[in-house]
Amino acid sequence: MGIRTCLFDRHAAAGGKIVDFSGWDMPLHYGSQIEEHNQVRNAAGVFDVSHMTVTDVAGDDAENWLRYLLANDVARLEAPGKALYSLLLNHDGGVVDDLIVYRTGAGFRLVTNCATRRKVLIWLAQNSHGFMVQVEERPNLAVMAVHGPDSIALACEALPADSIESVRQLGNFGSFEHGGWLVARTGYTGEKGLEVILPAEQAGAFWDALLAAGVKPAGLGARDTLRLEAGMNLYGQDMDEKTSPFSANLGWTVNLRDEERDFIGREAVLQHRQQQREGELPVLAGLVLEARGVLRNGQQVLTDKGEGIITSGSFSPTLKQSIALARIPWGSGSCQVELRGTMAPLKIVTPGFVRFGKRIFDCGNHP
């Protein structure tokens, strides 16, 4: 038996197919992954993501420490209620983890991955010497993601009545705190929606209220196909400690504007950026299969510039064809894959296939 979130009994009661996810017993789906995927694209679904790691950072040096630790710049978060996506890099410029950092009333809150929990907590501790910071993991908080075109309207029926006005005013990546809750317009699906971090003992009642409002539970299977359609990376699959942000389509998250800011990995990623400009560093591209079949993780592809590899491949329920993220040579113009003995052509697109329920890529658009 693995670790269970405070919502485990509800997943089991809802018919969840429980699988091991990095030591946690989590719902893969509740009957049909594709139906749950479509539910999020067309209406609203809720994911229990309480297995993710929540860490609070406070203290006089909290901002300076995170400016040193993160590749994106938390100085951009001028006030509580702002958030951004960032990578945690090692000294070689490889990706230790990806995260969302929220500025809160008390300091900052980091939400990092589940599979990287131990490694990240050690990394934070190891790199905090000389900084006046308190770093506290918050295992007693639950995390729920409510996403889809109807998600905010339906969530307002389940959220505390005196928080509704604040929810309506939230912009993308905005957040507010209400009692022990943090409500944010962040997510991993390419649809609008909320992530709600709340005390575990209140999570069951909120879950029940969401379902009563008409939100349907969605499992980790749908979460994976949704994020892939949205062109978002999965840590450990599309990037790891050996991957440069510039090879993960995440150069935009490396904030080099403040030349005085010395963050871990800065020297290395400056070199990566130069290598990429010289065509020596591969890119993470989107691929679309026009033929029948499904692209799979780990499959080799062949471009006019050499070999590449699919890092995330699946069937897109929205587009009804297979899509993938793949690391391929810079400047590749054409791409193909071997499927059951024959070579099938693949279209190369900028990662990002579906946003707000609609196909967004243009097949003529090369990275």
354-355 and 24-29 strand pairing? unpaired
Which letter does DSSP use for residue 246 in this model? G
Query: Residues 296, 310: contact at Cβ < 8 Å?
Result: yes
Query: Residues 132, 59: contact at Cβ < 8 Å?
Result: yes
Spatial distance between the Cα atoms of 177 and 81, rounded to a whole number of angstroms = 8
Candidate residues 80, 160, 293, 352; the one interacting with other proteins per rule CB under 8 A? 293
Task: Rule CB under 8 A: say whether 39 interacts with other proteins.
Answer: no
Task: Rule CB under 8 A: say whether 297 interacts with other proteins.
Answer: no
Candidate residues 12, 43, 156, 294; the one interacting with other proteins per rule CB under 8 A? 294
Task: Choose one: 27-35, 136-144, 236-244, 262-270; the region binding other proteins (CB under 8 A).
Answer: 27-35
Candidate residues 118, 129, 257, 292; the one interacting with other proteins per rule CB under 8 A? 292
CB-wise, 5 or 314, nearer to other proteins? 314
Task: Rule CB under 8 A: say whether 225 interacts with other proteins.
Answer: yes
CB-wise, 221 or 245, nearer to other proteins? 221
Task: Choose one: 42-50, 75-83, 201-209, 287-295; the region binding other proteins (CB under 8 A).
Answer: 287-295
- The nearest distance, CB 298 to other proteins, in angstroms, is 12
138 CB burial (10 A radius; 0-12, 13-18, 19+): middle
Which letter does DSSP use for residue 103 in this model? E
Site for other proteins in 323-342 (CB under 8 A): 340
Residue type present at position 232: M
Candidate residues 18, 21, 22, 32; the one interacting with other proteins per rule CB under 8 A? 32
Candidate residues 189, 312, 314, 332; the one interacting with other proteins per rule CB under 8 A? 314
Spatial distance between the Cα atoms of 189 and 44, rounded to a whole number of angstroms = 11
> What Å distances lie between residue 296 and 227, 322, 340, 352, CA to CA?
15, 9, 13, 17
Task: Rule CB under 8 A: say whether 315 interacts with other proteins.
Answer: yes
User: H helices of the chain, where?
Assistant: 8-13, 33-42, 62-69, 117-126, 151-158, 164-169, 200-212, 220-229, 266-277
Task: Rule CB under 8 A: say whether 221 interacts with other proteins.
Answer: yes
The residues binding other proteins (CB under 8 A) are: 28-29, 32-34, 221, 225, 292-294, 296, 314-315, 317, 340
